[in-house]
Amino acid sequence: MSMPFGYVPAEQQMRDKADYARKGIARGRSSVVLQYEDGIVFVAHNASRALHKISEIYDRIGFAAVGRYNEFEALRLGGIRYADINGYTYGRGDVTARGLANLYAQNLGMIFTESIKPYEVEIVVAEVGDSAEEDQIYRLTFDGSVQDEHGMVAMGGQADAVATRLKEGYREGMALTEALRVGVTALTEPGGEAPPTSQLEVAVLDRNRPHRRFLRLTGARLEGLLAESAPAAPAEKPAEGGKTPPLESPGPDAPTAPDGDIDTGQGD
């Protein structure tokens, strides 16, 4: 039996689609999502002030995405319609991140298998609970695969390198300022400068807020939190080869400091 001209095996088609989607996602900038003591924080490198990578889906559910804006924006709007219809028909408590993740998985899987061009997106759906143990974070890839993440997740751009830096700084029960520092550090290339505040998109799902848990952090409020999270400057050392004048002996009543290494605030 002769094969028709231009025939491509199904396995090769799937591999080509997956490679195409991965390359498209890797060209973008990364985003990170991580838990802190009072909820979940989203941090994205986004130079646009009009187009959001982070959004609210429902009262306690947030959405973050990387890749093609028009594609993940269509997914976001579909998720909002799903949440509104189910919340009105049944109850607000029946709208969950798990249900949204299942919806997105079905849509992305169908697009990946049936369309010529797959979506070049990765998304995270997160739900904040009444305690850290009840928080839910789901990561969905371009082919509809779902991963139940715990604690933190990095996606888009050089995701593997960002995830490595995120793991180095992450710990459970961090305060918001510390979580922001870890997230921004993960998005910063080694030896490079951190993204300016104007190019950071930050939001939280705060379990202590009544009703709507989603809150964007912008402007002076974000700048204050980032300034508070900045590590303390290390003590200055004399230049090499320079001579330091001898210290005078302290008097009997002079205060003394405990022995040990200086805490530079780097968290090592």
pLDDT of 66-111, one tens digit each? Answer: 999 999 999 999 999 999 999 999 998 899 999 999 999 999 999 9
Rounded to whole angstroms, the Cα distance separating 82 from 37 reads 29
* Vertex 142 angle, CA 136 and 147, to 5°: 30
What's the CATH class of domain 24-226?
A: alpha beta
Question: 135-144, 181-190, 210-219, 244-253: lowest mean pLDDT where?
Answer: 244-253
Give how far Cα 189 sits from Cα of 30, 66, 195, Å: 11, 18, 10
What values do phi and psi take at 122, rounded to 5? -130, 140
| Long-range contacts from 214-217, C-beta under 8 angstroms, 24+ separation | 214/56, 214/59, 214/60, 214/61, 214/62, 216/54
Higher pLDDT, 191 or 104: 104
The pLDDT confidence band at residue 10, using thresholds 50, 70 and 90, is: confident
pLDDT recorded at residue 246: 43
Alpha helices (H) in the chain, listed in sequence order: 10-26, 69-89, 97-114, 159-169, 176-187, 219-229
Composition of the chain by helix, strand, coil, percent to 5: 35, 20, 40
Per residue, the 3-state secondary structure of 86-149, as one string, reads HHHHCCHHHCCHHHHHHHHHHHHHHHHHHCCCCCCEEEEEEECCCCHHHCEEEEECCCCCEEEE
Of the candidates 155, 131, 50, 57, the one whose C-alpha atom is nearest the C-alpha of residue 97 is: 57
Q: Could you give the 3-state DSSP secondary structure of residue 80?
A: helix
Q: Considering only CA atoms, which of 61, 68, 59 is closest in space to residue 33?
A: 61
Q: In this predicted model, what pLDDT tens digit does every residue of 119-172 receive, in sequence order? A: 999 999 999 999 999 999 999 999 999 999 999 999 999 999 999 999 999 999
- Per-residue confidence (pLDDT) for residue 231, from 0 to 100: 67
Q: Is the pLDDT of residue 268 over 70?
A: no
pLDDT of residue 242: 46
- Read off the pLDDT of residues 204-243 as tens digits, 9 standing for 90 and up: 999 999 889 999 999 999 999 999 877 655 545 544 554 4
What is the value of pTM for the model shown? 0.82
Hey, what are 229's tokens? 């999270």
The pLDDT, as a whole number, for residue 8 is 76
Q: Residue type for 244, please? A: T
pLDDT reported for residue 259: 40
Average the pLDDT over 22-32 and give the result. 93
Q: Does the pLDDT value for residue 53 go beyond 70?
A: yes
In this prediction, residue 258 has a pLDDT band, given cuts at 50, 70 and 90, of very low
pLDDT of residue 190: 87
What is the distance of C-alpha 94 from the center of its chain? 26
235: Cα within 13 Å, side-chain hemisphere: 5
Picking from 34-48, 190-204, 251-265, which range would have the lowest pLDDT averaged per residue?
Answer: 251-265
**pLDDT for the residue 6:** 65
